[in-house]
Structure 1
Amino acid sequence: MENKSHALAAGIFVLVVAAMLAGLAVWLTRDNANYEQYELSTRDGVSGLQPQAAVRYKGVAVGKVTRIGFDPQVTGNVLIRIAVNEQAPISPTTFAVLGYQGVTGLAHVLLDDAEKPYPELPPGPSGLPRLPLKPSPFGKLAEQAPAILTQVEEATRRINQLLGDGNQQKLTEALSNIGQAAGSVNTLTQRLDATVTQRLDPALAALPPLASDARQTLQSLQQAGAGVSALAADLGKTTQRLNAEGGAIDQITLGTQSLARAADQFSNTTLPRVNRAADDTSRAARQLGRAAGGITDNPQLFIYGSGRVPPGPGEAGFAP
């Protein structure tokens, strides 16, 4: 009898503890938030998505997946029903996409906003509003997988052609040529080093004296420039003095004007007189010439005068 009472007490204790744990679990998992139901329809696969999966808006948990099935309106589409907290900023620009968590393959629903509003989708048979579901990156990759595999096969075929026996021999020859070219480059480098050591270094050593000479030449040119500047200043002063009123240029101008007036006076007064005297002298010289000619022809003029002497006997025109 005593053993039965202990077993009954232990059973009652276990039931009470279980009830308390259940109540604690219910209290801890209670959710007093209000949710709004939305539906998502997609033709892509939803591998890794399970009911009760999280729904996140820009990374913040705002709900969960309540049901996954098939869309009765579109054959082959998967219908996902989600519950979203009414405080989540769902707007006409909101869209959904499936996200995958790490390497586990578990999927969840991501909500985000686009730059422009999407066309409003008609509600399904249940009357719940629908959100546009964009293909996930994993789904795009799965769609592009056949094309990627085809490109990989083509690239592999071309690589095999490139690495054929003939191309390998050509590649070996090319590597040998590259080695010879590298040897030639090393030889050229050594020659360049020798040239730099034997010719360029002495030339560089001669540059400082040359720079010193150039500096001295520049100083001489600067001094000569200073002298030229001083000479130019003196010439400027001399020019100012020559151009000053009553200066040498004015005096030369006055002398020239006086000389011009004297030349005009000589031309107008003295020169005509000289010309008349020259004419008189010329006439006198002509008369003197005629007189000398007459004397030469008839010397008797000094005795008989200027009258004509009658011809004598034996002369032409003699009349007895």
Structure 2
Amino acid sequence: MLAFTYWLLKPAEETQTQKYNILFDESVLGLNLDAAVKYRGISVGKVSRLRINPKNSEQVEVQVTILKTTPVKETTVAKLTAQGITGLSYINLSLGDNGAANLVAKEGEEYPVIKTEDSFFEQFEKSLESVSTKLSKTLSGTQKLLAENNQENITLLLKSTASFMTQMDKLLSDEAIANFHSSIKNFDNATKKIDVMMPKIEHFVDNSVAWENKIAKTFSSIMNSYLGIKASMDRFKLAVDSGDFNLKEISTDIVPTMNNTLIELQHLMIRIEGALNQYERSPGDILFKQEEIKKGPGEK
């Protein structure tokens, strides 16, 4: 019966299972022999041996027996997982990359070695260590910040902040905001007045240019008359010097020229006098053309 039982079970177990080694750097407290090995919640094997790693005393070597139908890849990771509140643990396998090659034993290894990752408690413990380290640094920095030589600076800083907030409160009062809105309205009104004034200024500039052109033409005409008078005077002087003093002939050329010059000077003085009188009556005409010219009978 014993021989029959061995023949019935042993070959089947060896042909249907595969042994793997798992090396944990953390404590395997709660993991016992025959503990379950699960793949995404499905039991696919059990723990067959627990011992200290002969090659590294800081690691625990866990040998597991897993069904050959389990897809153990090179990227498969083993993780120690707690089983409820019983305190017992089991090994949970995650596939990784489905396209990776199957895990095989490397040279010098008796069985293939499955990679590991930290358990939840190990990660929690490491995070607590990190938090405690940061908290210790924070407390040390706070202690330095609250030293006696810094307390006076902190007090001054708080007083300055309080004074600044008081000034901001005054600045943002209802009266200040109302004044600010009033200033904006005044600025807007001034902008509108400037917009209205600009066409009048442009009109004034155009009129000034035209007036300057007229004066320039008048002075040019006067200059020409002056040159004519000068030429006549030169002829008169030449005639006197030469003894050919024919007053009638000379006056025939000079008198019309002088007459034209005096007439043009008279017209220029009349225009200048008219412009000055208009400016005295209504100085605003230079920019705004405020004076209304009274039209005579029958004028439109």
TM-score (norm 1): 0.42
TM-score (norm 2): 0.45
Larger Rg: 1
